[in-house]
Each structure stands twice: as structure tokens, then as C-alpha cells.
């Protein structure tokens, strides 16, 4: 909370001082090798999900590559280094290097446009807190505050201590109606196919009785998309063999539409494919 207040004060201070942030025109959806830009006289590394603003100059070293999606039109540009690029309002100019253009879906472009800087920063901060802070008690990890594309493709998971008796998991429909209850000794549980219905909302609770008699409880909620919504979301899914960039855009699309569980599963695949990409890794563990 203190950190959020400090950030808010800093932002207000910048606005009062007359500093205006440029409106981004594109998002980086894939990057490899050494890609950099000059910002306030300092060389800054261009990362995955970086926003690009007009008049930015990007430098791609040999063997580097970059994919950029413009926010105003469903077009993705791919560049190979060595190259020097200049970002303009609706295009990127290059006097050297290799460039390609690919059409992407309008829905994914719209999702990228809504994926604001504040949201990306909150994601990174949440991932950092998850890695560095050990909270006492039980903590639900999946699914929490999310919609699911398919209720049959779900694994519940949580963290926390337990006695030899393990955990008691309860699943509720319509907030109070007990749908299912079970005892497990591990920190995960997979529901039987067909238990979760499309279009329904659920809450789930995990209890753990400790040896000293204390009972720990954690409760979360989620929903399963209705059939029409699930079909619409799945239509945006990349096909087998699609590029890293296409899958990044789909992960952004999922997050923007509230499918955080499915987005995180995809981010885990992307992070495994690019183990050195800090941004992909942060999204996979948030």
C-alpha cells in the first residue's frame, strides 16, 4: 500500500511539473538478441511487451530480431538485424535490415491496445511479491478471480501447511450451495470431467487443521465461460506452428478478457520456450 501511494505521488508530481507522456503506438510481441533504444541519454534494452512511441529509434544488433504489433491496425511487423529502426505514428521506417508484415486479428490488436502500462507494471510487481514474500497460512493459487474457457481443463492448486490429515476442499455453486467436497493430501486437485458447467459461477474453499488445533481457511471464486463466449475466445487461439509473437498476443488477449488462468498456462509455455525472458517468466508465475 505504501508503494502504491509513493507511485501515485510521483505521477501527480510529474503531471504538475508539466511532463507529458507520449501515447504509445505499438507493442513489442517478440524480441531476441540485443535490441535497444536511447532514452534520456541512456541506452535502454527493449523487452517483450514494451510500448513503442513515435520518434523512438531502435537499434538491432546482428542476429537480433523484433516483432511489433501496431495498436491502430491489425498488422504485425517483423524485423531482423542488424538494423536501425525509427518508430512513426503508423509505421516503422528502416533503411537496412530485413522486414516482413503479417495480418493479425482485430480482436488481438484491440486487446494489446488496452494492455496499459499500469497493468503491465502491476503484473510485474505481483510476480515479484509472489517470489519474494512468504505469507503465513493458506494461499489459493488457481483458479482465483478468473474466468475459464473450459471447466474440464482445470487443476486447483494452493500453498500452505497442513497436519497429517491433509486438506479439506469444498466446491460451491451460487455461493452457498455445496456442489462437491473431498479430502486430499497434496496441494492440488483435479475435478472429474463434467462437474463444472459452462456459464456457471463457483466458489471454492480449502481448510487445513494444524497440530496445535488451529484451522486455516482460504476461499476464492471463478467462473466458466458460456459456450458462445468460449467459442469466440477459442477462435482467436493460434494454430499449431504459429509464431511466438502470435502466442504472446493471444496471452495478452486472454488476460484482457479475464481468462487469467488460461493466460498463465500459455505464459508458462512461452517462458519455457524462452527461459531467459524475464517478462514471460513474470507473467507465468503471477
Domains delineated in the chain: 17-106 (no CATH), 138-224 (2.60.40.1220)
22-26, 86-90, 125-129 — which one is most confidently predicted on average?
86-90
Segment holding 203, helix H or strand E = strand 201-209
Q: Can you list the pairs that 57-61 forms with residues at least 24 positions away whose Cβ atoms lie under 8 Å?
A: 57/84, 57/85, 57/86, 57/87, 58/83, 58/84, 58/85, 58/86, 58/87, 58/92, 59/35, 59/83, 59/84, 59/85, 60/33, 60/34, 60/35, 60/84, 60/85, 60/97, 61/33, 61/34, 61/35
Rounded average pLDDT over 124-129: 47
Confidence band, pLDDT 50/70/90 cuts, at residue 117:
low
DSSP state of 18: T
Rounded average pLDDT over 44-59: 94
Confidence band, pLDDT 50/70/90 cuts, at residue 2:
very low
Backbone angles phi, psi at 49, to 5 degrees: 75, 10
Confidence band, pLDDT 50/70/90 cuts, at residue 120:
low
DSSP state of 24: P
pLDDT at 162: 75
Asked whether residue 152 carries a pLDDT value surpassing 70, the answer given is yes
Confidence band, pLDDT 50/70/90 cuts, at residue 136:
low
Asked whether residue 20 carries a pLDDT value surpassing 90, the answer given is no
Amino acid at each position: 500500500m505504501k508503494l502504491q501511494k509513493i507511485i501515485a505521488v510521483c505521477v501527480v508530481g510529474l503531471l504538475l511539473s508539466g511532463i507529458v507522456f507520449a501515447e504509445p503506438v505499438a507493442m513489442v510481441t517478440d524480441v531476441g538478441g540485443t535490441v535497444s533504444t536511447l532514452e534520456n541519454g541512456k541506452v535502454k534494452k527493449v523487452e517483450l511487451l514494451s510500448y513503442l512511441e513515435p520518434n523512438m529509434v531502435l537499434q538491432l544488433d546482428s542476429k537480433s530480431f523484433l516483432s511489433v504489433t501496431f495498436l491502430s491496425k491489425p498488422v504485425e511487423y517483423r524485423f531482423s538485424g542488424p538494423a536501425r529502426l525509427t518508430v512513426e505514428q503508423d509505421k516503422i521506417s528502416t533503411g537496412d535490415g530485413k522486414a516482413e508484415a503479417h495480418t493479425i486479428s482485430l480482436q488481438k490488436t484491440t486487446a494489446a491496445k488496452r494492455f496499459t502500462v499500469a497493468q503491465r507494471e502491476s503484473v510485474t510487481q505481483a510476480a515479484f511479491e509472489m517470489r519474494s514474500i512468504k505469507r503465513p497460512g493458506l494461499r489459493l493459487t488457481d483458479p482465483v478471480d478468473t474466468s475459464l474457457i473450459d471447466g474440464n481443463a482445470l487443476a486447483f492448486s494452493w500453498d500452505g501447511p497442513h497436519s497429517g490429515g491433509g486438506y479439506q476442499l469444498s466446491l460451491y455453486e451460487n455461493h452457498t450451495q455445496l456442489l462437491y467436497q473431498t479430502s486430499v493430501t497434496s496441494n492440488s486437485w483435479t475435478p472429474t470431467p463434467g462437474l463444472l458447467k459452462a456459464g456457471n459461477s463457483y466458489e471454492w474453499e480449502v481448510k487445513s487443521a494444524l497440530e496445535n488445533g488451529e484451522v486455516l481457511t482460504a476461499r476464492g471464486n471463478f467462473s466458466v465461460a458460456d459456450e458462445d463466449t468460449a467459442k469466440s475466445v477459442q477462435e482467436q487461439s493460434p494454430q499449431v506452428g504459429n509464431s511466438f509473437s502470435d502466442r504472446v498476443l493471444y496471452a495478452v488477449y486472454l488476460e484482457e478478457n479475464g481468462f487469467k488462468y488460461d493466460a498463465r498456462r500459455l505464459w508458462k509455455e512461452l517462458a519455457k520456450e524462452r527461459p531467459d525472458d524475464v517478462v514471460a517468466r513474470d507473467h507465468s508465475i503471477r
